[in-house]
Amino acid sequence: MSQRMSPSEPFGARLRRVMDERGPLCVGIDPHASLLADWGLNDDVAGLERFSRGVVEAVADRVAVMKPQSAFFERFGSRGIAVLERVVREARAAGTLVVMDAKRGDIGSTMAGYAEAYLHKDAPLFSDALTVSPYLGYGSLSPAVALARESGAGLFVLALTSNPEGPEVQHAVRADGRTIGATMLAHLAAENAGEEPLGSFGAVVGATVGDLSSYDLAINGPLLAPGVGAQGATAADLPAVFGSALRNVVPNVSRGVLRHGPDVTALRAAAERFAGEIRDVVAGR
């Protein structure tokens, strides 16, 4: 299934449609050295390209979202970035939405520069959405928010991540009694107010963080959920973590799919298995 979707249509609307059509699975593209070795590839630009474009060839026409991790391309310098440009272009041409996992966060003109690199329609790395860090203050993201709106793109804001260091910041309590994580969710709910069928400003919420019943995840936007597969979470765990927000969850699987390469058939089978399990859980089956 290949369907070109106009980037002028809001990201949230495009995401809702492709999630409903293909199932709500995001496959990460994480070409770190150990996975390249598992595929029998050298840890060089040629190996990077074979791995990354192989993943796109295998699954980009059948999953809702792909999420390249920019760091694993940046480590090869300009040649690695050139590979990343091709990966983004080919994945989007196959009808999947691309979330650039770069976790950018800065202030003023620097934040605007990062936004232009990934969210400007004419940028070589233009992506459907970008992960961003709000921990210089949510307002520091305003250049990215503005350009995302203009370009029909989206953002995924780090809110409740599953890394063990995250809680010292995200669970810290403000003077008003809200945690920092809850504050970020509230900002996103405000960004998405009134948007139909889904807002374009999402949160990153780990699938392994446990009980989130004290947090309001009803932000009218997508929840990117890393942690399914090799990190220990399963599709069956998602309802307990996300509750009534489950339909808007985009679970991310990386190694659970990628370790099946370079065989294209095996990669597709792994992605389809995860997508089917997640689709069944969301449907309550």
Catalytic sites, residue numbers: 103
Q: Which two tokens stand for residue 284?
A: 């309550």
The alpha carbon of residue 14 and the mean position of all alpha carbons in its chain are separated, in whole angstroms, by 14
Residue 121 in contact with residue 97, Cβ under 8 Å? Answer: no
65-68/154-160 β-pairing: unpaired
Q: Tell me the residue type at 195.
A: E
Tokens of 24: 């709500």
285 burial type by CB count under 10 A (0-12 exposed, 13-18 middle, 19+ buried) = exposed
- Neighbouring-strand partners of residue 104: 132
Q: Which residue has the tokens 């210089």?
A: 136
Q: What is the DSSP letter of 72?
A: H
Listed in sequence order, the DSSP H helices in 152-263 are 167-170, 180-192, 238-242, 255-258
Burial call 230-252: b when 16+ CB within 10 Å, e when fewer: ebebbbebbeebbeebbebbbbb
Comparing CA positions, the residue from 122, 44, 129, 31 lying closest to residue 79 is 44
- DSSP 8-state assignment for residue 209: S
Under the phi-then-psi rule, with left for phi > 0, alpha for psi from -120 to 50, and beta for the rest, what region is 152? left
State the Cα–Cα distance between residues 33 and 233, nearest whole angstrom. Answer: 24
